[in-house]
Amino acid sequence: MNTSIRIVDEHISFANELAEAARQVLAEHTRDGLGTSVKEDKTLVTRLDVMVEKRLRELIESRFPEHGIIGEEYENADLGRSHVWVLDPIDGTASFVAGIPVFGTLIALAVDGVPHLGVIDAPVLDLRWLGVTGRNTVCNGEAVRTRGCNELSSALLLAGNRDRYAPEQIVPLDNLRGATGARVYGGACLSYGRVAEGRADIVLDAGQSLYDFAPYRPIIEGAGGKITDWLGVPLSLSSDGNILAAGDPLVHQQALAVLSGR
């Protein structure tokens, strides 16, 4: 492993502790009521989103007070630090509210602006993907790999919520839909885990916030896949939230060409 990245076993163990803490909050308090409200951007938030993030921030501040934190529900803290944690307490809140188990907790640790550790934790399905730069991605402790795909026309595409696409992004979305073999919509964070373990071939998302996508780069790359923005630039904390991931790098290249209209 490249020690210059400065992700160590303590960080990996702690990321798992954070995921367990998020599960505990959800298990203990979901039955007490969700307390759902609508934000200004018309996305949903529950009191569980706030409770989970509050607990994770407390743990980070106690263990790594020298690290920064970016989260969905609270103000960002110490963004100038070399190590910054990125938190989405419940990715897929609308699915959570509806009782559809397509949601999870997202945890990432970025070093010098690049996510090098990522966790997707899906508590209802009891699945946890963990990726670290320079290591094999694992799901529940077992190594996973993406699958090969000979042609874009045979690929299974997992596409995010159409409501997040800007008007000018609908044509590229429709073009990619037409170029692929089959499609599934609305998988949220699970889509990236499924590509990492070879169950699907491509994920396309648009209009994502940083906390929505920060863990995905180490997870996809550590499983043998490729993930970038729509221009082919590797993801960082400054990416624009338009995401293309593929299990097969050749299919990723073909999908980029479709998105650009080539």
Report d(CA 21, CA 211) in Å as an integer: 18
The pLDDT of residue 5: 63
The pLDDT of residue 230: 97
- Would you give per-residue pLDDT tens digits along the chain (262 residues)? 443 467 899 999 999 999 999 999 999 988 777 888 887 777 888 899 999 999 999 999 999 999 999 999 999 988 899 999 999 999 999 999 999 999 999 999 999 999 999 999 999 999 999 999 999 999 999 999 999 998 999 999 999 888 889 999 999 999 999 999 999 999 999 999 999 999 999 999 999 999 999 999 999 999 999 999 999 999 999 999 999 999 999 999 999 999 998 7
CA dihedral 220, 196, 260, 174 (to 10 degrees): -150
Contact 202, 195 (CB under 8 A): yes
Report d(CA 71, CA 85) in Å as an integer: 8
Claim: this prediction has a pTM higher than 0.85: yes
Tell me: domain 152-259, CATH 3.40.190.80, correct? Answer: yes
How many Cβ atoms sit within 10 Å of the Cβ of residue 8? 13
Report d(CA 130, CA 74) in Å as an integer: 24
The pLDDT of residue 2: 44
Q: Which residue is associated with the tokens 């609908």?
A: 170
Report d(CA 67, CA 15) in Å as an integer: 13
Ramachandran angles phi, psi of 255, nearest 5°: -65, -40
Domain boundaries, the chain: 3-143, 152-259
Dig out the tokens for 76 from the structure: 């960002």
Which numeric CATH code is attached to 3-143?
A: 3.30.540.10
Cα-based angle 158, 97, 44 (whole degrees, multiple of 5): 85
Asked if domains 3-143 and 152-259 share a fold, the reply is no
The pLDDT of residue 3: 38
The pLDDT of residue 54: 97
Q: Which amino acid is at 64?
A: F
The pLDDT of residue 1: 40
**Among 6, 221, 16, 253, CA closest to 113:** 6
- The 3-state DSSP class for residue 246 equals strand
- The 3-state DSSP class for residue 69 equals strand
